[in-house]
Amino acid sequence: MRHRQERFLSLIEPNAESAFVTDVDLAELPSEATGELRTSLTHVPADIGFTKPDELTWWDWTVFLLHTAAEIEHALMVQYLYAAYSLGEANFQGPNVPPDAPTLVNRWRRTIIGIAREEMGHLITVQNLLRFIGGTLNFEREDFPFRTLYPFRFQLEPLTKTSLAKYVAAEMPENPAQPDELIREIVRRATGSAGGVNVNRVGPLYAELHTIFADPTKLSDNDLFPDTADRFQAKKADWFGSSIIIVRALRSRDDAVKALKDIDEQGEGSGQPTDVTASHFDRFIRIYQEYPETDEVIGPVTWIPFRPVPTNPNTLISPSSDALLERGRITHPVSRHWAQLSNVRYRMLLLNVAHALHLEGPLEEMNGSLTMRGNLRDWAFFEMRGEVFAGLRGISTRLVQLPLKAGVSSQEQAAALPFELPYSLALPDREPDRWRLHLALITGARSLIEQIENASGRDDVLDELKTFDLQRQHLIEEHLSPL
């Protein structure tokens, strides 16, 4: 979110009927006050009220809210992935490590990665909604957050019981079925982790968008472009092919309303009996209840499921005056090159998705071969998960085994994926220049790979990246030759 948008966000105020849940420390209220609040405790950590600025039409306001939703989905996806990748594999520390610790941690990791993939689906569907109403696509992410709307301040951090509380609070439904005492505990812990600031629920934003799309006096039929469904929008079968991951092509107002309702329910809904179909809230709160205490200030620490990775790892060149950023600055030379390589691959992922959604037409030719749009889709999947070794997860497995700082072992301080945004996410205006940007990123990645190999030898992850990049380079150069 950029500073120029602050004046619009300043019109978004806490809902007086619901935001008070975290405006006070409930533990310090007299008993008669907590009794009065009891019925509200099962509602929300904090809700937002929306006021459209007079200078914006309803269409423009909807685009703004969809841009905000896209940035929130992107930010949540990255924070959830970082939390999942922070979890260890074995050799957990603590006085009472349970015998089934590896099984528990592996299940938690799979669950959180699954939620992150679903957030990616939400992000794609938000882009489809923008296409459907003729808005510009947006793949930005929270950078300098304004606390009026985002759930909580963006922070990459290991999975602790306290960070879990923030995720539970952000995804919480209006009326959670869990005991009031548990909700109070989660809200207090989440608020403390957010620096004493309310953790906003994501649900009200989607509820507001649902209301706007359902009302033809706000968005008229002239604001909707059903023909983009076949020409530009992402389709479930092409992008994620799952009944769990929500990617919706939109051909009507009803399609848009249902898509927004489905996203809201998957994030906060009442939940189902299995991990696969439960809402994000249900899955997160289940992990929260199983997760050991990791903050000795709050309670006794029995064991630590996560690796010694930093909060907000970064590749700043010079020392930072911000103590937290400096603690997360990756200074070990080999670790730093791996982290920079991960930044390039992250940029490639975003570029592949954005470029694919800017191209018109199918993903496959009549003979079954991929179009360039289809190649971009496959390249995006590769950057997420690789084929055997690579992808961002593959790079993560290398980084967490490397030290954060020179002269410190990875057992003391490990490096981790920094997920740093590039200087720009804007696509070049001309199509040939967009493909040249892909080639530039391949060249940058190749240089970093060579530096890593010169310092520490060949690696399976790097071999897979080199093979993939060479194949991709040949396809792009062949595509560019007649242009």
Same domain (yes/no): 280, 402: no
Same domain (yes/no): 54, 162: yes
DSSP single-letter state for residue 150: S
Query: Residue 362: pLDDT band by 50, 70, 90 thresholds?
Result: confident
Determine, yes or no, domain membership for 297: no
Same domain (yes/no): 256, 376: no
Determine, yes or no, domain membership for 109: yes
**Alpha carbon distance 159, 41 (integer Å):** 25
pLDDT at residue 30 is higher than 50: no
Same domain (yes/no): 69, 189: yes
Structural domain count of the chain: 2
Mean pLDDT of the chain: 86
Determine, yes or no, domain membership for 315: no
Tell me the pLDDT tens digit for each residue of 403-457.
999 989 999 999 999 999 999 999 999 999 999 999 999 999 999 999 999 999 9
pLDDT at residue 275 is higher than 70: no
Tell me the pLDDT tens digit for each residue of 314-333.
999 999 999 989 999 999 99
Look-up: residue for tokens 């992935």? 81
Cα 468 from chain centroid? 25
Same domain (yes/no): 456, 346: yes
Query: Residue 274: pLDDT band by 50, 70, 90 thresholds?
Result: very low
Final residue before a domain boundary, out of 290, 313, 337: 290
Determine, yes or no, domain membership for 302: no
Torsion of CA 151, 157, 161, 162, to 10 degrees: -50
Cα 361 from chain centroid? 28
**Alpha carbon distance 214, 198 (integer Å):** 29
Same domain (yes/no): 138, 280: yes
Final residue before a domain boundary, out of 290, 308, 331: 290
pLDDT at residue 130 is higher than 90: yes
Determine, yes or no, domain membership for 176: yes
Calculate the alpha carbon distances from 482 to 333, 418, 476 in Å: 42, 38, 11
Same domain (yes/no): 223, 338: no
Same domain (yes/no): 257, 336: no
Same domain (yes/no): 345, 454: yes
Same domain (yes/no): 273, 353: no
Determine, yes or no, domain membership for 91: yes
Determine, yes or no, domain membership for 180: yes
* Highest mean pLDDT pick, 144-158, 185-199, 467-481: 467-481
Same domain (yes/no): 277, 381: no
Helix (H) or strand (E) holding 213: helix 203-214
Determine, yes or no, domain membership for 308: no
- Give me the domain span that covers residue 444: 323-480
Same domain (yes/no): 55, 186: yes
Task: Kindly report the pTM of this predicted structure.
Answer: 0.89
- The strand ranges marked E within 209-334 are none
**Alpha carbon distance 22, 174 (integer Å):** 14
Q: Please report the pLDDT score of residue 241 as a whole number.
A: 59
Tell me the pLDDT tens digit for each residue of 34-80.
333 333 443 455 676 778 888 999 999 999 999 999 999 999 999 99
